[in-house]
């Protein structure tokens, strides 16, 4: 009888492929985590922009109303600081001075500049 023609992979070839697949998987998981964190940070900055837009819009509406601008307290009470979705808003003891905005795993402490007769209040990290 002649030589047997065996086809297939050797154990070393199979182990090599598994090691390569493991390395690729670990690198891709790390990249995915980085992308997720970056997206959450970007969402926080968009949340801050939305708070500032709401503040400016409310301030503008008060300015063009018949009564005009009165106080920062009146303005703050009319602004809705609750954002939709996965945002969480926690204010401190002085709710008009700032608070913490959270989106998923990321959070940022915000301070609020008070509004005046000539400018709307502004939320800043």
Q: What is the pLDDT of residues 63-95, one digit of tens each?
A: 898 888 888 888 888 887 777 778 888 877 777
**Is residue 2 a part of any domain in this protein?**
no
Under 8 Å between Cβ of 103 and 44: yes
Q: Look at residue 14 and tell me if it is in a domain.
A: no
In a domain, 80, yes or no: yes
Full-prediction pTM beyond 0.75?
A: no
Residue 18 has pLDDT above 90, yes or no: yes
Number of domains in the chain: 1
Residue 68 belongs to what domain range?
Answer: 20-124
Is residue 55 one of the residues assigned to a domain?
yes
Q: Is the pLDDT of residue 1 over 70?
A: no
């Amino acid at each position: 009888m002649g030589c047997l023609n065996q086809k297939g992979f050797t154990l070393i070839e199979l182990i090599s492929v598994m090691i390569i697949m493991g390395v690729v998987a670990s690198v891709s998981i790390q990249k995915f985590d980085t992308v997720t964190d970056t997206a959450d940070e970007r969402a926080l900055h968009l949340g801050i922009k939305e708070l500032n837009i709401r503040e400016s819009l409310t301030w503008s509406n008060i300015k063009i109303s018949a009564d005009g601008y009165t106080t920062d307290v009146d303005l703050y009470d009319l602004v809705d600081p609750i954002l939709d979705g996965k945002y969480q808003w926690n204010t401190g003891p002085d709710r008009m001075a700032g608070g913490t905005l959270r989106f998923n795993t990321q959070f940022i402490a915000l301070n609020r500049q008070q509004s005046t007769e000539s400018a709307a209040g502004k939320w800043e990290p």
